Amino acid sequence: MTSPQMVRLDEHLQRLRLNTVRERLEALLQEATKKELSYADSSTAC
């Protein structure tokens, strides 16, 4: 997680105390990329 967007997203997730999402984020994004899911689809996979 080094891009500015990912850093900002991680900060927001931490502030919102969404620790499970923070822990699974990279795996979820990789899965979405493999399956070519849209943002809306991938954001409901949690």
Query: What is the tens place of the pLDDT at every residue in 1-46?
Result: 578 888 999 999 999 999 999 899 889 888 888 887 666 666 665 5
Q: Which pLDDT score, from 0 to 100, does residue 32 have?
A: 80
Q: Which pLDDT score, from 0 to 100, does residue 16 have?
A: 95
Query: Please, what sign has the CA dihedral across residues 30, 32, 6, 25?
Result: negative
| Contact status, residue 38 vs residue 30, Cβ threshold 8 Å | no
Other beta carbons within 10 angstroms of residue 4's beta carbon come to: 7
Q: Which pLDDT score, from 0 to 100, does residue 36 have?
A: 76
Q: Which pLDDT score, from 0 to 100, does residue 29 have?
A: 84
Q: What are phi and psi of 18, to 5 degrees?
A: -95, 65
**Domain ranges in the chain?**
4-43
